Amino acid sequence: MALMLPNETKPRFWGALPDEGAAFVERDLRREGLRFGTDGSTRALWGYLSSAHQVVAAASARPGDVLFFDTRASAAVPSCDDAGHAGIVQAVSHDGRITFVEARGGRVRRSYADPVRPTLRRDGRGQIANTFLRPKRMDDPTSARYFAGEMLCGVARPHLR
């Protein structure tokens, strides 16, 4: 899949949309030739991709795969049935760290998820291992999750033309 990653400092959207990650992924999939309909939510996108395409383990992720994240603070175990965010895999490093492209906060961003070390913010070289996907809130439970690796709930591999 050929990703169109604009200058990361230039706004891609004007204002944050509730499921802007799903909208970003859907646009890319349609640009690549997939034809499907959803209600525009991340959950509906997961439902479509998980039933009509291949679901793979995070350790098998490759460029073009779609990542899903359960961004709820209170969930003990991430569930894609409650996915609230999505992104597209751009690269996978030799140690398993996934670089992905996402739309969040009105911008297209390059972010990271490390499913092997989901609670690690930075590695020994100082590189970001996991991007923050949600801000800390005063009413968060003590077990709240903030990093992409902690929230990663599924990886779908769309079958493109």
34-48 residue pLDDT tens: 999 888 899 999 999
Element (H, E) at 148: helix 148-151
Taking only the tens place, the pLDDT of each residue in 48-92 is 999 999 999 999 999 999 999 999 877 778 899 999 999 999 999
* Count of C-beta atoms within a 10 Å radius of residue 137: 8
| 27 contact partners, CB below 8 Å, separation of at least 6 | none
The CATH class that applies to domain 20-157 reads alpha beta
What is the DSSP track for 23-74? HHHHHHHHHTT------S-HHHHHHHHHHHSEEE-GGG--TT-EEEE---SS
Structure tokens at 13: 């959207």
Q: Of residues 26 and 77, which shows the higher confidence score?
A: 26
Residue type, 24: F
From residue 142, how far is each of 71, 73, 136, 139, 154 by CA, in Å? 15, 9, 11, 9, 24
pLDDT of 116 > 70? The answer is: yes
The Cα 26–Cα 41 span in angstroms is: 10
Read out DSSP for 97-131?
Answer: PEEEEEEETTEEEEEEE-SSSTT-SB-TTS-BSS-
Helix (H, G, I), strand (E, B) or coil at 20: helix
* pTM, entire model: 0.86
